[in-house]
Homo-oligomer: A and B are copies of this chain.
Amino acid sequence: MLRHLVLVVFMFAAALAQAADPLPNWRDGEVKTAIEDFLAAVTDPAGDEFVPVAERVAVIDNDGTSWCERPGYWSTQFQVQLMASMADAGKVSPDTMPYSAWLADDRDALRAYGYSEAYQALIRSYAGMPVTAFTDSALAYLDRASDPRFGVRPTDLYYPPMLELMRLLEAHDFQVWVVTGAEQQFVRSFLEDAAGIPPERVIGSWTPPVYGEEGGEVTMVRGDRQVYNGHQHKPANIELRIGRRPIFAAGNSNNDQAMCRWSVTGPRRAMALWIHHDDAEREYDYDRSTEHIAALAAEHPWTFEVSMARDWARVFKHDD
């Protein structure tokens, strides 16, 4: 009887501890404390750093920040596969540049051709496709795809600590936006299911679609030129799409530096996180194109380095 009582008390205490910690996949330490302090400060109506609900905007990068970006970007791999299906249908010539280089995954040839123009050619290869067909293709691709190292679906590569953080921000009445350099419609196709972020809160590199009507029939198809959403374009597009300066940002590379700097240098109390890939065992250890965001984290008191090895109890949901 006493044993049962002890067990019940223990389970109750464990449940309470769980309920009390909304970031169970973050290890105790400076970063976790800083997140908690930031959220407490901006939501305390009696405090000096209170931020009204309407201005609680969080912007979070996708590849390498919210999910794994190695060994390659899923968005690019999908688009190459979609282009390949257009080649099969005779709509693009697979033997000409830059399509041949995309199909061979020949990075040197793509760089020599000009990566930006090669990317626009990829976009053009499926221009005119109905937007709904593009979404269907993306979902079918993700359903088939499997990560070569971990053997799981791409959408199982979202980081539980980041998903927890998104939910904690929302619980504090933040609007959480995902701001990515990847193809916007591709990311939108799965992000609501995979990470709880609805399409209207996804800002990616976008291709203006084209509306048409004829005899009462309406069409909405993919356009033929993409607007890039990386580097300095991230804060510019945040201003364009949201119209408010964020007070929270998270990113993992120089591509996110401007967005993070824009967020932490506004008139309000703010916070930025640099997700640092330093965990070869559970994920990857690399520092490609990180010197500017690392410098921001070193220099700015509201910007923190998140060491995946040190700060995350789990990196993936498949971790023990």
Contacts and interface: CB of A to CB of B under 8 A. Distances in A.
Q: In the assembly, how many copies of this chain are there? A: 2
Between A208, A237, A239, the greatest number of chain B beta carbons within 10 A of the residue's beta carbon is seen for A239
A243 B202 contact: yes
A243 B211 contact: no
A241 interface: yes
Contact of A54 (B198, B216, B239): B198
Interface residues of A, number: 37
A244 B199 contact: yes
B199 A242 contact: yes
B258 A208 contact: no
Contact of A209 (B206, B212, B239): B239
A132 to B, nearest CB: 9
Interface of A: 54, 131, 175, 184-185, 188, 192, 198-200, 202, 206, 208-213, 216, 218, 220, 232-233, 235-237, 239-244, 258, 261-262, 265, 299
20 contacts: A54-B192, A184-B240, A184-B243, A200-B244, A202-B243, A210-B232, A210-B236, A211-B233, A211-B235, A211-B239, A211-B262, A213-B258, A216-B261, A216-B265, A216-B299, A218-B258, A218-B261, A218-B262, A220-B235, A220-B262
